[in-house]
C-alpha cells in the first residue's frame, strides 16, 4: 500500500503510521471511517499490528462509554469493532 496522507483542520499533515498519531488524530480518522474508503483500507492495513489494534480497541471502549452522545456513526463504530478484533 502506498503512502497516504490526510489533511486535518488547521492544515496539519497526518503521518501514515497510526502509532504516531495523537489521540485527537485517531478520533478524527475513526470518524472518517463511514465516508472514506481509503481510511478504512489504511487502518485495516495497519490493524495487522497488535499495538494498532490495542489503540483502536481503547478508542472503541471510550466511544462505547459515551454512548449515543459520541460523534461516531454506526458504520464507523462497526468498522472500528472489526479492525480492533484480534
Backbone angles phi, psi at 12, to 5 degrees: -85, 135
SS3 call for 3: coil
User: What confidence tier does 11 reach under pLDDT thresholds 50, 70, 90?
Assistant: very low
CA proximity to 26, closest of 4, 3, 6, 45: 6
SS3 call for 6: coil
**Residue 7 bridge partners (DSSP):** 13
Cell 459520541 locates to 70
Cell 452522545 locates to 69
Q: What is the mean pLDDT of the chain?
A: 80
Summarised one tens digit per residue, pLDDT across range 39-80 is 888 889 889 999 999 999 999 998 888 887 877 888 889 999
CA proximity to 32, closest of 52, 54, 7: 7
Lowest pLDDT segment from 13-17, 20-24, 75-79: 13-17
* Residue, of 49 and 17, whose pLDDT is higher: 49
Share of the chain above pLDDT 90, in %: 23
Residue 86 pLDDT: 67
- pLDDT at 23 exceeding the cut of 80: yes
Amino acid at each position: 500500500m502506498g503512502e497516504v496522507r490526510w489533511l486535518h483542520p488547521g492544515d496539519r499533515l497526518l503521518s501514515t503510521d497510526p502509532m504516531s498519531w495523537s489521540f485527537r488524530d485517531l478520533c478524527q480518522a475513526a470518524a472518517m471511517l463511514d465516508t472514506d474508503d481509503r481510511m478504512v483500507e489504511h487502518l485495516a492495513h495497519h490493524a495487522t499490528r497488535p499495538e494498532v489494534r490495542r489503540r483502536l480497541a481503547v478508542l472503541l471502549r471510550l466511544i462505547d462509554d459515551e454512548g449515543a452522545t459520541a460523534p461516531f456513526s454506526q458504520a464507523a463504530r462497526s468498522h472500528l469493532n472489526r479492525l480492533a478484533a484480534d
